[in-house]
């Protein structure tokens, strides 16, 4: 599992790097204009629905598909995935049509009436972006099938192609308008779908069959989806809540959050996706074999490793966030004042990294256990905590207060998951262990922060790219030396870290 996680993490990192080329072009050309507010808001509902469908697939499809492959024969598994694919495409097409028909009420819900130009632009963009749901759903489904067959590299490479196509086309497109942003995004998703489809064909998975018993499997999966739909809807609804509150903070607030969330998302993707992608089928296998002790040991190791990476990431954002933003995005209409606003938002968002990662890993466990009601409650906790934090945060701290909402929400969800884990598996004593891990990891990153603070003034005259590169290498290098000397890797691998 660890080897597969490393492979997925590397490919995820590459896709994030390439995707930032597109973000850099957008930042240089459009800055934090109302056009970017409109573009980001037009993505909210398709992203919400894609997340709902994806979450349902992971809960309802993976477990049953793995059972079909293990308990019956490959023909039954082929029939099941064929039937599920047809259902998913039908749901995606129907949802896209609903978005197309109801685009005006949707944008009216997202954009305040005082921002008339933003509303008009968001409405126009949504008419095209609505169809991205079909592309996203089918490509994610094929990627999930590849993962179930251990083809992690092929599934992880597809987003890189997506990023290359969308960024490359945006770069060469002569006139850069809202339509350009929308169509290059769509073409990137088409490219990703083609890649996963070819990978399935090459792996012998592009095979279709129909059995009457497959209908029963699909029916049971749909029944399982009914209680899980609130969970994924609530979970993805937090994105809607944050964007709506940002849209009421004036021009550019949605764009600032968009840039900051992309930077933050790059960290979470690298940290979470690599492990999370292979964790669900691995946990399903452990549960099927009744190896509960192995599950506890796995979560202990994951918790320590996540804490180490999260502390490094948060410290890196605090010390190097501003130069990172200027190197990546600081061109054209994206000036130093904009960079400072984005850096402030990014720093606050990074605080949620550890609780979000651990909550995601626990969610994978309960997904493998097929606990839809539990997941629905956790998602409702997240949505309520996000809404309350946004409301009071906007009132007292403005955009910074809204940026605190993900941290508040993920802490609340993690506390809930720990209570449910204790109820089902017994008290594992995770909290004291995480507290000790946090203290150790902070101690390990302090030398990097102190040395960076002492020497950064000497690097500034060398230019921002060179100065950032030297500071980043020194920061990570000092941390790596401390980790090596402290024996942190052995500490992570231990069954008992006390």
- pLDDT for 495: 56
305 pLDDT more than 60: yes
Q: What share of the chain is helix, strand, coil (3-state, %, to 5)?
A: 85, 0, 15
Which one-letter DSSP state was computed for residue 269? I
How far is the C-alpha of 435 from the C-alpha of 446, rounded, in Å? 17
CA distances from 309 to 348, 349, 389 (A): 17, 15, 26
Which pLDDT value is given to residue 244? 92
Taking 60 as the threshold, does the pLDDT of residue 322 lie above it? yes
Q: Residue 472: is its pLDDT beyond 80? A: yes
Sign of the dihedral defined by the CA atoms of residues 265, 271, 273, 274, in that order: positive
What angle is formed at CA 212 by the lines to CA 211 and CA 217, rounded to 5 degrees? 90
- Of the candidates 137, 45, 179, the residue with the CA atom closest to the CA atom of residue 99: 45
Query: What's the rounded Cα separation, in Å, for the pair 91 and 3?
Result: 35
3-class DSSP state of 484: helix
Which of 80-84, 144-148, 299-303, 474-478 holds the top average pLDDT? 474-478
Give the model's confidence band at 215: pLDDT under 50 very low, under 70 low, under 90 confident, else very high: low
Q: Where is average pLDDT lowest: 51-60, 242-251, 254-263, 293-302? A: 51-60
User: For 289, which DSSP code?
Assistant: T
Nearest to 313, CA basis, from 421, 425, 442: 442
- Of the candidates 29, 32, 19, 45, the residue with the CA atom closest to the CA atom of residue 177: 29
Mean pLDDT score, 322-328: 92
pLDDT over 70, % of the chain = 89
More reliable by pLDDT, 67 or 195: 195
pLDDT for 115: 80
Which pLDDT value is given to residue 274?
60
pLDDT in tens, 265-283: 877 876 776 666 667 777 8
pLDDT by residue (tens digit) across 355-394?
A: 999 998 898 888 788 787 888 899 899 999 999 999 999 9
DSSP at 461: G
Distance separating alpha carbons of residues 103 and 125, to the nearest angstrom: 10
User: Tell me: the pLDDT tens digits for 2-55?
Assistant: 555 566 667 766 777 787 888 899 999 999 888 999 999 999 999 888 888 887
CB 306 within 8 A of CB 439: no
Q: What is the mean pLDDT of residues 408-415?
A: 96
Domain ranges of the chain: 34-229
Most confident of 154-163, 299-308, 377-386: 377-386
What does the block give as tokens for 475? 């920061």
Output the pLDDT for position 117. 86
Residue 321 pLDDT class (50, 70, 90 cuts): very high
DSSP state of 174: S
What average pLDDT does the structure give for the chain? Answer: 86
142 contacts 172 by C-beta, under 8 angstroms:
no
For residues 337 and 333, what is the distance between their CA atoms, to the nearest angstrom?
11
- Distance between CA atoms of residues 339 and 341, nearest Å: 5
User: Does the pLDDT at position 108 exceed 80?
Assistant: yes
With the CA atoms of 180, 185, 189 and 191 taken in that order, what torsion angle do they form, in degrees rounded to the nearest 10? 50
Q: Which residues of 269-281 are buried (b: 16+ CB within 10 A; e: fewer)?
A: bbbbbbbbbbbbb
DSSP 47-77: HHHHHHHHHHHHHHHHHHHHHHHHHS-HHHH
Q: Could you tell me if 391 and 241 are in contact, meaning their C-beta atoms sit under 8 angstroms apart? A: no
Structure tokens at 367: 């997904």
Question: Could you give the CA distance from residue 344 to residue 339 in angstroms, rounded to a whole number?
Answer: 9
Q: Which of 85-94, 204-213, 447-456, 459-468 has the highest mean pLDDT?
A: 447-456
What are the φ and ψ backbone dihedral angles of 249, each rounded to 5 degrees?
-100, 10
Read off the pLDDT band of 172 (50, 70, 90).
Answer: very high
CA distance 258 to 244: 12
Is the per-residue pLDDT at 400 higher than 60? yes
Instruction: Give dist(CA 257, CA 279) in Å, integer.
Output: 30
| pLDDT higher than threshold 80 for residue 329 | yes
Better-scored residue on pLDDT, 343 or 61: 343
CB 347 within 8 A of CB 318: yes
Q: Does the CA dihedral 325-263-31-248 come out positive or negative?
A: negative
CA 75 to chain centre: 34
What does the pLDDT read at residue 260? 95
- Residue with the bigger pLDDT between 460 and 137: it is 137
Looking up tokens 């490919």, which residue turns up? 11
What pLDDT is stored for residue 320 in this prediction? 95
The pLDDT score that the predictor gives to residue 82 is 82
């Amino acid at each position: 599992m660890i080897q597969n996680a490393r492979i997925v993490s590397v490919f995820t990192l590459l896709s994030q790097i390439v995707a930032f080329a597109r973000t850099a072009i957008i930042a240089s050309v459009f800055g934090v204009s109302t056009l970017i507010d409109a573009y980001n808001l037009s993505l909210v509902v398709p992203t919400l629905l894609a997340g709902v469908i994806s979450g349902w697939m992971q809960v309802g499809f993976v477990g049953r598909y793995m059972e079909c492959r293990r308990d019956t024969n490959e023909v039954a598994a082929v029939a099941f995935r064929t039937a599920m694919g047809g259902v998913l495409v039908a749901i995606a097409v129907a949802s896209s049509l609903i978005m197309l028909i109801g685009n005006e009420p949707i944008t009216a819900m997202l954009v305040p009436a005082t921002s008339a130009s933003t509303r008009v632009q968001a409405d126009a963009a949504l008419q095209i972006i609505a169809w991205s749901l079909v592309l996203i759903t089918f490509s994610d489904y094929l990627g999930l099938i590849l993962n179930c067959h251990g083809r992690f590299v092929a599934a992880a490479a597809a987003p890189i192609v997506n990023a290359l196509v969308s960024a490359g086309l945006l770069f060469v497109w002569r006139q850069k308008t809202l339509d350009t942003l929308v169509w290059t995004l769509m073409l990137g998703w088409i490219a990703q779908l083609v890649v996963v489809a070819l990978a399935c064909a090459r792996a012998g998975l592009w095979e279709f069959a129909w059995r009457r018993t497959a209908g029963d499997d699909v029916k049971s999966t749909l029944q399982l989806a009914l209680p899980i739909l609130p969970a994924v809807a609530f979970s993805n609804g937090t994105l809607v809540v944050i964007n709506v509150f940002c849209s009421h903070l004036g021009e550019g607030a949605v764009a600032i959050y968009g840039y900051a969330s992309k930077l933050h998302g790059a960290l979470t993707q690298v940290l979470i996706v690599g492990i999370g992608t292979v964790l669900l089928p691995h946990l399903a296998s452990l549960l099927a074999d009744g190896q509960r002790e192995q599950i506890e040991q796995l979560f202990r190791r994951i918790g320590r490793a996540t804490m180490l990476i999260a502390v490094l990431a948060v410290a890196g954002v605090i010390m190097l966030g501003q130069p990172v933003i200027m190197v990546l995005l600081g061109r054209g209409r994206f000036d130093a004042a904009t960079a400072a606003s984005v850096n402030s938002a990014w720093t606050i968002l990074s605080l949620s990294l550890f609780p979000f990662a651990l909550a995601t890993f626990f969610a994978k466990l309960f997904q493998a256990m097929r606990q839809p009601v539990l997941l629905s409650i956790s998602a409702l906790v997240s949505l309520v905590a996000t809404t309350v934090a946004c409301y009071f945060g906007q009132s007292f701290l403005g955009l910074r207060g809204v940026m605190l909402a993900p941290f508040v929400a993920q802490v609340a969800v993690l506390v809930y998951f720990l209570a449910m884990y204790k109820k089902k598996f017994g008290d594992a004593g995770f909290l004291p262990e995480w507290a000790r891990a946090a203290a150790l990891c902070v101690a390990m990153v302090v030398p990097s922060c102190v040395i960076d603070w002492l020497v950064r003034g000497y690097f500034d005259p060398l230019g921002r790219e060179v100065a950032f590169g030297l500071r980043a290498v020194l920061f990570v290098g000092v941390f790596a030396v401390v980790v090596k000397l402290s024996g942190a890797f052995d500490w992570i691998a231990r069954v008992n870290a006390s």
